[in-house]
Structure 1
């Protein structure tokens, strides 16, 4: 049975919502900063996308209009490189803000981080529809910690490995995080994504299998409509296809909780994160 005070906190969160969202606004390549907003398609508002059938699920837009004209920069990335998408609560050229507890994102926005690539003739092209996307990274739940929490603890750095075997050329890099705190019904999950314009150098000739956006996600997917707090989660399936690997074996997208105490810890963590914000609401419920 869920304690009444926990239900009150959750209700406050679901009704009141949260504006502690996030924007991917800088790319690092092998530890080198590529510049604030350089080569990234970004909005000025940090809100989520909630409709997985919308074209806005591709690279953002719609309720979060992208700034135009788009950057004409295409960032060179060696095949096999480690890149990091840097996320922050709001657009902030000075990077991580230690005075903002919701930077890079509200710590209660629990869920996975994910990254995809799509090969394109020209990474500065306007149209992002009709592309073939393949997943190159995912970080879900390991039984103790969520991928978004690891990104939060890394001060907004979301680490992604570029496959060494894919063909050289222009690509969109789609970095994404999904917040599941309100995902018990659809639409409830919050999707945050931006696309970086990159040029992969070197590489090989392997052609990964691809999926489409929209199309790769469905509102009925167990990793999209899920109550991560109660009842006890026995497994979490990250949305989308398996992660592409050069060895030809996809990484499983299912992660399993270790013990029921994990859920209890999650409740405590969530309660602490929201207690100050919703104290007045909880007192009214008494």
Structure 2
């Protein structure tokens, strides 16, 4: 099979926000590797193409015998299609921008993600936004997933920035991460008001000799260590059908007062294939969290002897990652390279390079600005202190943390 359909997706046209989760589908359990070079139908050799609004990638492991079937089956869940070019019988995977090389079948774009409207966090746990963030509503596409396979979700601060030299979630935004599933009739229309069950969490662990929670191990620190990636197994015993997958990071740097916990959430529309029949116990959003829950209203800037993870326990078919543990699988092997010449530039974002003075006030290094909800001051902080237009630097957990708001 020298050529076949290659799925090339563009995004929704909305900016990739602070929690720009990009789903990666792996673990189909089939041998072999696949290489994808996407080209125009009339262009040879392959010319890599990407629309300006494309936001990322998803990886699906599979053998050549599945490659054609997988691409064809995805036609109902794609934005655009081009062709698949397979110039070698066994290859490495060359991916289009913004990625460079992966060892798996690659599908590009956030085609099944309900991208949030802005990079503002959700702070009111009684709001309907706690389900899938403030977004433009369902998208018309779904990602196909096998029960028992592993998905890798990826998070980064800025639109188009997937560099491992930058923290995935910066500004001392320490806290846990979690992933939920909700069984729905149609993932492309569901509003997320149904029941949810947790399939993954990476929360907190005490670090020997730490003086405060800031020094301990956290799920968001693991995201930074693994270049924004975390592996999540889809339970093997759940029923087939449509689900919403909800990825959540909870930043606790300002959680010492009510409403200070910051939830960064993105939902994905997926279709699970499997033969299971399990029906896990569920919770509802809103309702699963209380504003005064000790895992949401907590001072992490003092010494901690324990941490109470918000929400239900992880479902028995799910997984729990020990905070501070090493990266594994795609978390360490899926590499992102620089985009080729000709890639459409992403929307410019405010930057916050090192420089300027500490503290919670204005000023800071020349030529740098801090995006809204990012750190601009605090004890030991040495970065930029000038907030982007429309926000000011405020003490939210003095003297430890100040942010633009």
For residues 96-150 of structure 1, the C-alpha deviation after alignment (integer angstroms, 9 at most, x for no partner) is 1356x4x422151000010000000001005222x10000011011213110010
Matched residues in 2 for 1:128 and 1:41: separation? Answer: 11
> Judging changes above 3 Å, is the alpha-carbon distance between structure 1 residues 251 and 242 closer, same or farther for their aligned structure 2 residues?
farther
Matched residues in 2 for 1:228 and 1:212: separation? Answer: 27
Q: Which runs of 5+ in 2 are unaligned?
A: 1-16, 27-58, 61-105, 208-216, 324-377, 387-392, 394-398, 400-405
- Counterpart check, 1:197 vs 2:193: no
Cα shift at 1:164: 0.5
> Judging changes above 3 Å, is the alpha-carbon distance between structure 1 residues 251 and 202 closer, same or farther for their aligned structure 2 residues?
closer
* Contact 2:245 2:268 survives alignment (8 Å): yes
Counterpart pick for 1:244 among 311, 315, 336: 315
Aligned to 2:174: 110
Matched residues in 2 for 1:203 and 1:219: separation? Answer: 38
| Structure having the larger proportion of residues in helix | 1
The 5-angstrom pairing of residues 1-286 of structure 1 reads 22-30=18-26, 31-32=59-60, 33-61=106-134, 66-67=135-136, 70-92=138-160, 96-98=162-164, 101=166, 103-129=167-193, 131-144=194-207, 145-230=217-302, 232-246=303-317, 271-272=379-380, 274-278=381-385
Aligned to 2:211: none
Residue 23 of structure 1 aligns to a residue whose secondary structure is coil
For residues 213-250 of structure 1, the C-alpha deviation after alignment (integer angstroms, 9 at most, x for no partner) is 000000111100000111x111001100000013xxx9
For residues 165-189 of structure 1, the C-alpha deviation after alignment (integer angstroms, 9 at most, x for no partner) is 1101000000000000000111000
Larger radius of gyration: 2
* Contact 2:182 2:192 survives alignment (8 Å): no
Moved over 4 A (4+): 250-255
- Normalising by structure 2, we get a TM-score of 0.53
Residue 307 of structure 2 aligns to a residue whose secondary structure is strand
> Judging changes above 3 Å, is the alpha-carbon distance between structure 1 residues 134 and 77 closer, same or farther for their aligned structure 2 residues?
same
Residue 115 of structure 1 aligns to a residue whose secondary structure is strand
> Judging changes above 3 Å, is the alpha-carbon distance between structure 1 residues 54 and 136 closer, same or farther for their aligned structure 2 residues?
same
